[in-house]
Amino acid sequence: MSMRALQGLGGALLGSLSRTYATEAVVAVGSNQGDRVSNVWAGLASLTARQDTEILQYGCLYETKPAYLEDQGDFLNTAVLVRTELGPIPLLDALKRIELECGRDVGGGIRYGPRPLDLDVVFYGGLDFRDERLEVPHPRWRERSFVVAPVCDLLPVGSASGAGSCSGRLEEARDAWRDLGGEASVGGDEIRRVIPTGSGEVVSLSDRSHIMGILNATPDSFSDGGLFQTTRESLTQARRMAREGASIVDVGGQSTRPGADRVGCQEELDRVLPVVEAIKGAGDLSRVLVSVDTFYAQVAEEAVRAGADLVNDVSSGSLDADMHRTVARLGVPYVMMHMRGDPKTMQSAQNTSYADLVSDIASELDAKVDLALDEGMMPWCVITDPGVGFAKTHDQNCEILCRAGEIRRSFAKGFLRRAPMMVGPSRKGFLGRIVGKEDPKERDVATAAAAALASAQGCNLFRVHNVGVASDALRVADAVGAFQPGRVRLPHTTANN
């Protein structure tokens, strides 16, 4: 054993005895039995509940085909970077106890077979360690894309030094990921980056451009207020958007245009619930996800119970203290948009002043995500939105469309850099100013151009009024973007997975 390995082992043993030496470790997580999402989250919750172990970084969630034994269900896989006071073997023992608590038959299970939860130590600092029970680094980690992909989502945090740090191992993982094909291998049948929908199902929103069609059940929205006042009119519009290519229909009961008056929670519920129920009850719309556009926790909860699949919150939880806790309990995807103030105050000089637009948006969204995670939200449920038109000037809106990729790369959390990013420029005033169109309904071509530009910056979801025009533009953007290095080429369809 090398001197470096001996030093690492000595530190690990000291940590297991005195609990004063903190070491970083990477733990791979998988499940393909039962409620896979709940199993993965329950395992990680048990791990972080320990006083001797803290989760520092989360990888994204991946759905992968089974390896070795193919006659079994698809797996959900992720990885976490932890700081632990446990040595390698005590950490292994802790993981095995968590597996047992989550229902795994450790003794009688089939090797490489189905399991409700699988927890493996991939790295333990910079240590090379081997005994009859454990070998780290994990002997087959390099050949397993379902391990390497989420490990590469983890960012070094500098919580340990020398042999106690995983930074060097994470660099090795990035090299291994390139050897396996890297990002170009994500999105096909073998491995997909996914988010939970709340029903135990998962969908991929990163494989191509997905359109969120705007359905405002309001009398005062800036471009379509009063058009869909009845449930029948709303259902007809939802069907039209689905035919034209929308993967998601976003139902809103409150205008958030600049200067808009706030509508009360009950009035918003009265507007959106019948529409959500009607869409979810329409058999021909079963493949379309339904989002509720609200900053009220009660509206979010009742809409999800009525069938909504996502919550789209322009305030990221800042306008209702119960929102993060509620969405975390519901377990649905949550669009967290960057905004300062509220619709009444967001366009003030104070709220549109930034030291650096890109870094300020990223850091402020990072902080909101921290609050949501503290309330128990699964990291894979987060969808970011840089907030075009919200606390932004004309020039700042244009800058976001140009630099959305930089915003993504500026997030302090690895999973956020790969999480779906939504952008919503539809019919907004800055586009009207550019093309000289005062009527918002005449800005659909400008909206499609903005969406295509955002797609080139790596945005995944596009919230628009005119789905047909945007869909054509994004088909072209996807076809051209498929030839960029590291992009997987997939067909553009109206399916949501």
Active site residues: 428, 463
Q: What is the spatial distance between Cα 452 and Cα 480, in angstroms, rounded to a whole number?
A: 10
Q: What is the spatial distance between Cα 390 and Cα 352, in angstroms, rounded to a whole number?
A: 9
| H/E element, 25 | strand 23-31
300: helix, strand or coil = helix
Residues 6 or more apart in contact with residue 193 via CB below 8 angstroms? 60, 61, 62, 149, 186, 187, 204, 206, 207, 418
DSSP class of 487: -
Q: What is the spatial distance between Cα 9 and Cα 1, in angstroms, rounded to a whole number?
A: 10
Q: How many CB atoms lie within 10 A of CB 15?
A: 23
Backbone angles phi, psi at 402, to 5 degrees: -80, -30
Angle at 71 between CA 65 and CA 74, to 5 degrees: 30
Q: Is 65 exposed, middle or buried (0-12, 13-18, 19+ CB in 10 A)?
A: middle
Backbone angles phi, psi at 324, to 5 degrees: -60, -45
* Residue-wise burial string across 268-279, b where 16 or more C-beta atoms lie within 10 A, e elsewhere: bbebbbbbbbbb
Q: What is the spatial distance between Cα 55 and Cα 26, in angstroms, rounded to a whole number?
A: 10
Residue with tokens 């054993």: 1
Tokens of 175: 């090299």
